Amino acid sequence: MAKKAMVEREKKRQKLVAKYATKRAELKAIAADAERPMEERFKANLKLAKLPRNSSETRLHNRCQLTGRPKAYYRKLKLSRIALRDLASKGQIPGMVKSSW
């Protein structure tokens, strides 16, 4: 089980990303537009830098929804390998069978 503080921190980041997503996208579009004047593009970059760091989508980290584990995460299932194996062993994931040879 992951530390609760880390899981809560990740939730807080997700909220910030959702809150600032449109503003961040607009500023990035202005900064990348080569047809705009240089001063306007520079101001957009400054405004972008003033936004909270945790509002950037690259700072998000995938975590298992059951355990909060950050490593060995399956995106499609939103679970870690350990949680996936536990659920499969209990027969709670339809069609999944433990392999043996």
The predicted pLDDT at position 3 comes to 86
The predicted pLDDT at position 100 comes to 75
- Residues 51-100 pLDDT 10s: 999 999 999 999 999 999 999 999 999 999 999 999 998 989 998 887 77
Is residue 81 exposed (0-12), middle (13-18) or buried (19+ Cβ within 10 Å)? middle
Structure tokens at 1: 């089980």
pTM for this entry = 0.78
Contacting residues for 65 by C-beta, under 8 A, at least 6 apart:
78, 79
Residue 101 has pLDDT above 90, yes or no: no
Structure tokens at 25: 């996208």
Alpha helices (runs of H) in the chain, residue ranges in sequence order: 4-32, 38-50, 81-89
The predicted pLDDT at position 38 comes to 95
